[in-house]
Amino acid sequence: MTKPIVYMTPLAYAKLFGYARKCPIEISGMGFVDVLPGKGFLVKDVFLVKQKGSSGGTELDQEALGKMASEWIMNGEEWKNEKMKTWFHSHGKLSCFWSGTDTEQMNKNFSHTQWMLSIVVNQKGEYKARLDIHYPIHIEIDDLQLVLEADIPAELDAQLTQDIKDNLEFAPVYTPPKYQKPYTPKKGHWDSLLKEYIIDEENTTQLEDQSTAMLLLAEQV
């Protein structure tokens, strides 16, 4: 099975790892997610919620979460409740893994949802991401890839294309010459050449012996 990819906007990516780097203890929050059919998910933004945290864990304030959800409904922003499908937390300077406390938090707070993305990060910039599908049965897909998605504005995209056209000249691809093995004369080769050697009529040279002919022939080969 091909695992879905978790894309992140520059804003969400910067905030996710920024919270982890600036907080000396564990901290957690939520995020808004769009489903990308055939590709995976796009985390558009992340944010903090009232919580209690320590060097060994973090727990969201459920009353604060409920109040926030109610305010969204009253303000005509129900979509925020529907898109709030990411839970993230940090592990400080520790490695990224799913601790027993993490699993407890996921089961306690999000098992009623159809699905939820979970991301754990640390101050080194490392991460671990997983998808939990709760209905109709619980399926866990771990070790998802996070990808920073940079949306290029149309104006900038056109400028980049023009810059390439103005400054790039395509050079021919260098093709190295084929390797040729050194020539190795066969047995009797020199004798054969001596028989076929013809002395220039205008510069007749008397070959005194076979050794002289060999020398002259070697100079021309």
CB 217 within 8 A of CB 194: yes
The pLDDT value recorded for residue 188 is: 59
The pLDDT value recorded for residue 202 is: 44
Per-residue pLDDT at 93 exceeds 50: yes
**Angstrom distance (rounded) from CA 172 to CA 161:** 21
Q: What is the pTM of this model?
A: 0.69
Quick one: which H or E segment has residue 203?
A: none
Looking at 129-143, 155-169, 178-192, 197-211, which range is the least confident one? 197-211
Which comes out higher in pLDDT, residue 41 or 57?
41
Nearest alpha carbon to residue 52 among 60, 43, 42, 64: 60
**Angstrom distance (rounded) from CA 68 to CA 49:** 9
The pLDDT value recorded for residue 34 is: 95
The pLDDT value recorded for residue 174 is: 65
Which comes out higher in pLDDT, residue 135 or 191?
135
Q: Is the dihedral of CA 37, 43, 44, 50 positive or negative?
A: positive
The rounded mean pLDDT for the chain is 82
CB 87 within 8 A of CB 28: yes
- Give me the percent of the chain exceeding a pLDDT of 90: 48
Q: Where are the domains of the chain?
A: 5-152, 189-220
Per-residue pLDDT at 201 exceeds 50: no
pLDDT in tens, 30-45: 999 999 998 899 999 9
The pLDDT value recorded for residue 139 is: 92
DSSP string spanning 21-58?
A: HH-SS--EEEEEEEEETTTEEEEEEEEE-SEEEETTEE
Both tokens of 9, joined, read 């906007």
The pLDDT value recorded for residue 207 is: 45
Fold of the CATH domain 5-152: Cytidine Deaminase; domain 2 (3.40.140)
**Angstrom distance (rounded) from CA 63 to CA 161:** 51
| pLDDT band at residue 56 using 50, 70 and 90 as cut-offs | confident
- Give me the percent of the chain exceeding a pLDDT of 70: 76
pLDDT in tens, 176-194: 777 666 656 666 555 565 5
Both tokens of 31, joined, read 């995020």
Mean pLDDT score, 155-177: 74
**Angstrom distance (rounded) from CA 184 to CA 195:** 19
**Angstrom distance (rounded) from CA 203 to CA 188:** 28
